[in-house]
Homo-oligomer: A and B are copies of this chain.
Amino acid sequence: MANPSILILAGDGIGPEVMAEVKKIIGWMGDKRGIRFDVSEDLVGGCAYDAHGTPLTDATMAKAQAADAVLLGAVGGPKYDKLDFSVKPERGLLRLRKEMDLYSNLRPAQCFDALADFSSLKRDVVAGLDIVIVRELTSGVYFGEPRGIFKEGNERVGINTQRYTESEIARVARSAFELARKRSNKVCSMEKANVMESGILWRDVVQEIHDREYPDVELSHMYADNGAMQLVRWPKQFDVIVTDNLFGDVLSDCAAMLTGSLGMLPSASLGAPMANGRPKALYEPVHGSAPDIAGQGKANPIACILSFAMALRYSFDLGQEATRVEKAVEKVLADGVRTADLMGPEGGTPVSTTQMGDAVLAAL
């Protein structure tokens, strides 16, 4: 049997640097644990535009469709700010999400004990925090038509369309309920049903799927503005949050920042099962391409390493190996090993991107 395949799309900015550390871990898995992957690499985002005039070529898209898992670094940078909307680095990422139909985006917001003092929030508010935002990723205002900038009389009008079908809501709701069953069996769904009809449909469908298929899971509903408040006030009241593409974008970043360690947070974007039973899947750190520190060896590779751990768990059914990687990261943090972004008043051993990767390897 062939090895499972991984397509690496390191992207722009710090993407290639943090991905280099993941490659070491992949190598270690093969050498020490006999778990081998066929790894190939390609371009996405600004670097793809530089090489081919598009942030994602059809050939790369086809490779992503065929891969057992895609690992993505980050896309974008000021160099590409003036590009036309249609070829911006982000379009490459959005095309991958849409064409691979990765409708369920899992964004854990976890507060690492060694880093609890790092948050702008008080220790007791965030210590031990472990919640997951399940964000719908292939629909809503990100993809709805009509969209564009039009001329109306003398002026321009900017239009986007928030559009959700019943089945789009149902499938992401199911994925949230499934996840909740493996955790504390509790889901909070967020929308603006008091203002938007798409929010009413969202609330109704989530409730229907719950009543029909997951009556054992505790379900609550909350307006998204209140959700933002409650995340800041007392985030531990939540376990799994399910929400749409745009609210998910904002709320997951808010939740991520609560933990104070953006450089630590991974994500998984999952779609329907392929012929081999594995879900279509793309894994990426929550942080961006951080152009301001790119190329300086300052980036924290942990979010990207933990994204690979999520791949082990969700794509390759290697939960134990995933835990092994996560424990190694925890140990390194407990030992006080710190990239620049993790350097707090309490000190620690300052390390570069490469040294952090090596420390995780050593802990493995």
Contacts and interface: CB of A to CB of B under 8 A. Distances in A.
Given A195-B94, A228-B250, A254-B228, A157 B166 contact: yes
- Chain A interface SS verdict (over half): helix
A76 interface: yes
A285 to B, nearest CB: 14
A255 B131 CA distance: 21
A171 interface: no
Contacts of A250: 224-225, 228, 247, 250-251
A119 to B, nearest CB: 8
Interface string A186-227: 000000101111111110010000000000000000001110
A256 B229 contact: yes
A227 B117 CA distance: 22
B88 A194 contact: yes
B155 A165 contact: yes
A246 B192 contact: yes
A198 B155 contact: no
A229 B197 contact: no
A327 B109 CA distance: 40
Best-surrounded residue of A152, A224, A233, A250 (most CB of chain B within 10 A)? A250
Contact of A159 (B152, B159, B161, B167): B161
Interface string A85-98: 10010100010000
B200 A225 contact: no
A144 to B, nearest CB: 8
A131 to B, nearest CB: 15
Interface of A: 76, 85, 88, 90, 94, 120-122, 125, 141-142, 144, 147-149, 152, 155-167, 192, 194-202, 205, 224-226, 228-229, 231-234, 246-247, 249-254, 256-258, 262
27 contacts: A85-B200, A90-B195, A120-B122, A120-B125, A120-B234, A121-B121, A141-B162, A144-B159, A149-B198, A155-B167, A156-B166, A156-B201, A157-B165, A158-B199, A159-B162, A160-B161, A160-B162, A161-B162, A225-B250, A225-B252, A228-B228, A228-B250, A228-B253, A229-B256, A229-B262, A247-B250, A254-B254
